[in-house]
Amino acid sequence: MTLSMADLLPAAAEIFLLCAICVILLVDVFLSDRHRVVTYLLSMLALLGAAVITGAYGVETRTLTFGDSFVADHMGDVLKLIAYAVMATVFLYSRDYLRRTNLFRGEYYVLGLFGLLGIMVMISAHSLLTIYLGLELLALSQYALVAFDRRSPIAAESAMKYFVLGAIASGTLLYGMSILYGFSGTLDLGELAGRLASTDASEPALLFALAFVIVGVAFKFGAVPFHMWLPDVYHGAPTSVTLYIGTAPEIAAFALAFRLLAEGLGELQADWQDML
């Protein structure tokens, strides 16, 4: 597949943020603790730059790119701008908190930006594979952030519980997606919706796949009744990380529910509405 500049423009904000993360990671290596504020400033500039690019290159019409696995539309642009604002608020609060607790290290901001990149990928996902990649990118950064205070045994315990339950949720979600792929023969959400339209919605395989997908997503985002990990994680994680986990991923949860359930599995609406 050959990509032109026109194919890359819908994902300009994601590409810019990925490049900014690499630059911040390299710059932070050469900074002393006294000059660690440079990492904070660069992270805020990265958020500002991503917001400017999202606003400047916002699409007029719904656009698909990267083999129809990535979609750019007005809803995605709005959700991304909200995500930038949330992350800027988290970073702003975290600066003083991390200094007071002697946790002011550049890895915090790099992990936060990687989580934001995962959120952006999920917001614009148009295939089951893209959804899973964005979800895992967000989850892996959260595991590390929960255990960010290496001196705290409570944080280590919370991170381990979060990781184990997250791995179970990932396996459940991936199993459901594999059933959907085996049943429909496609990962593309648009094609999936079209093939489900000509299929008997009461097929047991479809219902099993739907159940696994919803359970996996519910585990990942702490939806009732799969929220048993939330109290431990909120208690053990640093306060700034708790603020991050409690806000930014909810934007991704909304986008994921819309892309996956409304667009991809809209033909099974009667079934997943009952499950929810």
Residue carrying structure tokens 């045994």: 153
Q: Is the pTM of this model over 0.75?
A: yes
Q: Which residue has the higher pLDDT, 171 or 258?
A: 171
Residue 163 pLDDT > 80: yes
Q: What's the number of domains the chain is made of?
A: 1
* pLDDT number for residue 265: 65
Max Cα-Cα span within the chain: 64
Domain containing residue 191: 5-275
* pLDDT number for residue 125: 87
CA–CA separation, 175 vs 209, rounded Å? 8
Tell whether omega for the bond before 225 is within 30 degrees of 0, i.e. cis. Answer: yes
- The string of pLDDT tens digits covering residues 14-60 is 999 999 999 999 998 888 777 888 888 999 999 999 999 998 876 67
Average pLDDT value for the chain: 83
* pLDDT number for residue 10: 82
Stretch 219-237: mean pLDDT, rounded? 79
* pLDDT number for residue 115: 92
